[in-house]
């Protein structure tokens, strides 16, 4: 069974709806045992935006990436941009030799650093629900990059 770290923005209604679709798809995948989603796994008792919250959230998220088998990252943010926190999580996972499954729902251009660091490229929640997390087949992004 696979432990997944879910990276992705959840700052507005569109982003929250997308991350909820991804969470649901991962829950449907029989090969996924556990999903750590920073959106759902906030540290209780801390005030968002305080230095204590920032330090503890950073430490928890990095620790969860370290313990994950794979990182599923949502690249969709605003226009062709990726959320800076998600970009950090992807880079940290790549450097840590964790496979990155990139979820890119919108038809936007992808940053070359994301395109080159991913292990698998998926477009739909159905793709995630059916992805073989045991064998982790590779698939590449073939669109435009910047």
123: three-class secondary structure by DSSP: coil
Output the pTM of the full model. Answer: 0.95
Average pLDDT over residues 94-98: 98
Domains and CATH numbers, the chain: 2-130 (3.40.50.450)
Helix (H) or strand (E) holding 51: helix 51-67
Average pLDDT over residues 69-89: 92
* pLDDT at site 55: 97
Contact 4, 68 (CB under 8 A): yes
pLDDT at 62 > cutoff 80: yes
Is residue 23 flagged as an active site residue? no
Choose, from 42, 89, 130, 138, the residue flagged as catalytic. Answer: 89
Residues of the chain above pLDDT 70, percent: 100
Provide the β-strand partners of residue 34: 3
* Mean pLDDT, all residues of the chain: 95
The C-alpha atoms of residue 94 and residue 92 are separated, in whole angstroms, by 5
Band the pLDDT of 65: cuts 50, 70, 90. Answer: very high
């Amino acid at each position: 069974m696979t432990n997944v770290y879910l990276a992705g923005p959840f700052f507005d209604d569109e982003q929250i709806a997308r991350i909820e679709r991804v969470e649901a798809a991962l829950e449907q995948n029989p090969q996924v045992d556990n999903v750590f989603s920073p959106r759902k796994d906030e540290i209780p008792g801390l005030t968002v935006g305080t230095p204590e919250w920032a330090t503890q959230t950073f430490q928890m998220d990095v620790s969860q990436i370290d313990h994950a088998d794979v990182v599923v990252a949502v690249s969709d943010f605003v226009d062709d941009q990726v959320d800076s926190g998600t970009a950090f999580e992807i880079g940290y996972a790549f450097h840590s030799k964790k496979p990155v499954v990139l979820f890119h729902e919108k038809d936007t251009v992808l940053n070359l650093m994301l395109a080159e660091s991913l292990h698998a490229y998926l477009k739909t929640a159905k793709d995630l629900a059916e992805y073989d997390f045991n064998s982790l087949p590779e698939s590449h992004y073939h669109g435009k990059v910047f």
